[in-house]
Structure 1
Amino acid sequence: MKKFVGTIFLLILFFSCKKEEQIAYDLVIENGNVIDIVTGNISKQTIFINDERIVNLSKPEENISYKSEIIIDATDKYILPGFWDNHVHFRGGDSLIQANKDFLKLFIMNGITTVRDAGGDLTSSVMEWKQQIQDKQLVGPTIFSAGPKIDGNNATWAGSLVVDTEKDISVALDSLQALNVDFVKLYDSRISGELYLKTIQEATKRGMITSGHMPFTVTLDETLDSGIGAIEHLYYVLKGCSSEEVQITEAIKNREYGFWSSMGKLIETYQDSTAKNTFDALKNNNTYVVPTLHIGNVLSYLDEVNHENDAYLKLMPPGIIETYQGRIKGALNSSEEARQNRKELNTFFKSLAKSLSDANVKLLTGSDSGAFNSYTYPGISLHKELEGMVSTGISNLETLQNSAYNGAHFLKKESDYGTIEIGKISDLVLLNSNPLEDIKNTRNINFVIKGNEVYNPEIIAQEIGCSDCLK
């Protein structure tokens, strides 16, 4: 009998110990308000992370027994996928390599865990940073890069790959594939319309994702039919909404109009029925649009707004500030009529962005930050882009979707990024306030989670000497 009682006692002890056995995790975020980026629903959950991925999600009542060296109390915090800036540039030549590298911390400080590098002249450095970030040797966002842009001979931007003949297309795409770029970026300063379309077609055949500007010597429909994945900026969408796009395209080919001089005519001939057909074509071709509203606003008012007290300007080294001068001088030296036309175009683009969103065209938030883009600072400009979208009437939820969620889908990375789900990479941002109530709350960051790493924006701000950057 004693033997039997002893056996029962051992069994009870065994099962009670087994019951209390704690599961070990690398990082646990407790009791946060997790925002479902698809529906906007908010639920209190605990997030369990191992090996840089979300391995479990639980509700408070589930009482999971666990242990972790890092446990974050996220009570009253709001948790989103880490922000994506879907249009940045690393560029400016060898003398600005360090300046561009220093931008990486600014992205993390602002909750941006991923950037889409839309082409520049620092490809070898960018690819090194990309690997170093992946290997935890460098603090920065995940970088998805286009490498150098594709353009024609004597292109505007240094480092561009020249496509001046059909043979050049294969050479350019071969080199980009050898670099293992994440997408192809096309630019419109010198490339012919014919070669532009053929480059998109060939890239598409190879299974490469494309995005870019569009030469005004081709129509938007021709570009969409060629298979382009994303249209950068709204000039090209505006052209596709004109009832006289074909005639204006011919006039540009005949040098009767230039790029900027055609803008007034395009606005004048904007037609709702044509726009609807264009929006439908964008949707049917699954083509994304990157409005870049914030930089448009900044550049349109360079003649009126004084930026000398910008907190982020103090972080920009002299070499970066020097690159700003071209656009600044251009704005200050332009005629009063040209300045007014630029402002009117900027206002029109805000309504166009809202119309695109209302038509369910997929948008991407991108700041266009980097050298040469005056006062468009890495990090904070993404938040201003979010605010710019909301100011057009686009909802907070849709605006937030245009960052990580749409960004991941555009680059076909949705199995790893874009939502807070088991199996996804644990790039997260913890906010002190609800961004669905006020989009400016995206700036009010508690912690940034990059895989297994935890970053405090206030500490980064102290390290770089910019306490005003978080105000």
Structure 2
Amino acid sequence: MIKGLVTAVCAGILLTACHNKDNNKVLLKHVTLIDGNGGMPVPMTDILIQGDTIAAIGAGLEEGDATVLDLGGKTIMPALISAHVHVGTLKDTTTKPENYTRTNILAQLHKYEDYGIGNILVMGTDRPMLFESGLRDSSEKGLMPGARLHTAGYGFGAVDGAPPLSFAMDKVFRPATPEQVVPEMDSVAKLSPTVVKMWVDDFNGKYAQKLSPDIYRKIIEEAHKRKLRVASHLYYLSDAKQLVADGLDIIGHSIRDKVVDDTLLAAMKEKGVVYIPTLSLDEFAYIYARKPEWINDPFFKKSLEPGVYEMITSQAYQDKLKNAPDYPVKVAAFEMALRNLEKISSAGILVALGTDSGAMPLRAQGFSEHLELELMVQAGLTPLQAITVATRNAAKVLKIDQQYGTLEKGKVADFIILGSNPEVNIKNTRTIEAVYKAGKEVSKGPLAKN
């Protein structure tokens, strides 16, 4: 009789577990909620997840058939969204076309996810395999593991100029005349990209010419005819002013040569131009001349490709950076980028997270996004403002803000559970205990894989 009772009880427990699984309801109790909208964290509230969606938020929620997790005050924030990255061409200490394989792309999407990044926008360096295999479509729809991949397809650069061919940029269109832009834009438009990417820069005099105004105006014109927005890599204030005047939608890097002026700020605000500062790129450009405070942090080291840590910590590499003629220029560019971000943010212009991670070995995928948050705070944003830049604002840039970017009833349950509150210290975004994608736990963070 006792044996039968035990069996019945066990069967009841199993039935309850299966019932919970079938209903796929999870009730997170006693969380500190940062919802991504910029408001103060909400302490000791509850979140009910049903399937892949947030069903309710509020204190004292009850749901009899849900799996209940009491988080004891731990912080939940939306998964990060990075609106400027590169994937696939980076492997070990190289950036080459042959690295661009399905296996490598999926591994990097996994890495972004481990670091709490739910969606990424690859800015103009994707290759035909991504589209011909259906990998982009499956990833963007959340059917593949890892961060969801959004794309700018094949970008536009200058003949014998930027972007460098040595960075696996051989699929970038390089029109010599405005007339060439039309069929090339047709090819890009067929891919249904999130944005169109172009490069307008001479890389501090490395190249004799930049993409000319008559060609980049044609790129903007043809993209807009097809209802596509245009993002540009740039560096100089003069280029930013002309590009904004000519209809550019997204500035994809910091302005780094001069302080932005009121004329540009007014034009950007009037036209709704988005600013993606990629501060981490500019710090990475010079910081390894010394050993930054995070150089031995496991959270950083785990993000690196094999061989990169040994390269950047070698004395020879550090000396090469420190003694390079352009070292002071790189330091000054970073400091100008910080200053300009504060001015642009204070002017009420939409700022979104992006890092250029994955474009080269120094720009670590995953860690760069968390470093970017720290640098935005260093520039003058509050931690909560920086988080909004990395969640709600970036979702707006990708035009996925109806589903992602904030934690609200009816939105997809993409979020990170943190051990400590980043409103107190922005570095606490690195205390990842769990990553959820569409209502399911998909990672316990990068360090859990040690």
TM-score, with structure 1 as normaliser: 0.76
State the shift of 1:300 in Å.
1.9
Q: Helix, strand or coil: the match of 2:332?
A: helix
The 1:149/1:75 distance shift into structure 2, 3 A limit, reads same
> Does 1:33 pair with 2:21?
no
Q: Of 82, 97, 113, which aligns to 1:85?
A: 82
Q: Helix, strand or coil: the match of 2:326?
A: helix
What pairs up with 1:233-248 in 2 under 5 angstroms? 233-235=253-255, 238=256
The 1:218/1:106 distance shift into structure 2, 3 A limit, reads same
Q: Of 339, 343, 351, which aligns to 1:351?
A: 339
Could you tell me which residue of structure 2 aligns to residue 66 of structure 1? 64
> Does 1:275 pair with 2:261?
yes
CA distance in 1, matches of 2:196, 2:220: 9
CA distance in 2, matches of 1:209, 1:45: 39
CA distance in 2, matches of 1:41, 1:217: 35
Could you tell me which residue of structure 1 aligns to residue 3 of structure 2? none
State the shift of 1:217 in Å.
11
| Identical residues among aligned pairs (%) | 22
Could you tell me which residue of structure 1 aligns to residue 372 of structure 2? 385
Structure 1 residues 197-230: Cα deviation after superposition (integer angstroms, max 9, x where no partner): 2211221232112211248697433311332221
Could you tell me which residue of structure 2 aligns to residue 208 of structure 1? 228
Structure 1 residues 86-117: Cα deviation after superposition (integer angstroms, max 9, x where no partner): 21101231235344432222211111111111
The 1:345/1:136 distance shift into structure 2, 3 A limit, reads closer
Report the residue type matching 1:124 in the other structure.
Answer: M
> Does 1:361 pair with 2:367?
no
> Does 1:94 pair with 2:98?
yes
Q: Is the 8 A contact 2:289 2:321 kept in 1?
A: no
Report the residue type matching 2:151 in the other structure.
Answer: S
What pairs up with 1:109-258 in 2 under 5 angstroms? 109-125=114-130, 128-133=134-139, 138-154=144-160, 156=164, 157-188=169-200, 190-214=210-234, 219-235=239-255, 238=256
The 1:217/1:153 distance shift into structure 2, 3 A limit, reads farther
Could you tell me which residue of structure 2 aligns to residue 5 of structure 1? none
Report the residue type matching 1:108 in the other structure.
Answer: E
CA distance in 1, matches of 2:396, 2:142: 25
Q: Helix, strand or coil: the match of 1:424?
A: coil
The 1:168/1:77 distance shift into structure 2, 3 A limit, reads same
Q: Between Structure 1 and Structure 2, how many residues are aligned?
A: 402
Q: Is the 8 A contact 2:79 2:116 kept in 1?
A: yes
Report the residue type matching 1:88 in the other structure.
Answer: V
Report the residue type matching 1:144 in the other structure.
Answer: H
State the shift of 1:317 in Å.
4.6
The 1:225/1:383 distance shift into structure 2, 3 A limit, reads same
Report the residue type matching 2:344 in the other structure.
Answer: L
> Does 1:429 pair with 2:422?
no
Could you tell me which residue of structure 1 aligns to residue 53 of structure 2? 53
CA distance in 1, matches of 2:348, 2:175: 34
Structure 1 stretches lacking a partner, 5+ long? 1-21, 239-262
State the shift of 1:56 in Å.
2.4
The structure whose Rg is larger is 1
How well do the aligned residues superpose, as a CA RMSD in angstroms? 3.2
Could you tell me which residue of structure 1 aligns to residue 7 of structure 2? none
Deviates more, 1:118-127 or 1:77-86: 118-127
Report the residue type matching 2:413 in the other structure.
Answer: S
Q: Of 399, 424, 427, which aligns to 2:386?
A: 399
The 1:285/1:322 distance shift into structure 2, 3 A limit, reads farther
The 1:371/1:39 distance shift into structure 2, 3 A limit, reads closer
Structure 2 stretches lacking a partner, 5+ long? 1-19, 90-95, 202-209
State the shift of 1:121 in Å.
4.0
TM-score, with structure 2 as normaliser: 0.79
Q: Helix, strand or coil: the match of 2:171?
A: coil
State the shift of 1:72 in Å.
2.8
CA distance in 1, matches of 2:275, 2:308: 28
Structure 1 residues 165-209: Cα deviation after superposition (integer angstroms, max 9, x where no partner): 233222222212211211111113653221112211221232112
CA distance in 1, matches of 2:184, 2:319: 34
Deviates more, 1:120-129 or 1:363-372: 120-129
Question: More helix per residue: 1 or 2?
Answer: 1
State the shift of 1:128 in Å.
4.2
State the shift of 1:135 in Å.
6.7
State the shift of 1:77 in Å.
1.5
State the shift of 1:424 in Å.
1.1
What pairs up with 1:281-360 in 2 under 5 angstroms? 281-305=267-291, 311=298, 312=300, 316-317=304-305, 332=320, 337-360=325-348
State the shift of 1:439 in Å.
0.4
State the shift of 1:79 in Å.
1.6
Deviates more, 1:26-35 or 1:408-417: 26-35
CA distance in 2, matches of 1:444, 1:321: 22
Q: Is the 8 A contact 2:358 2:364 kept in 1?
A: yes
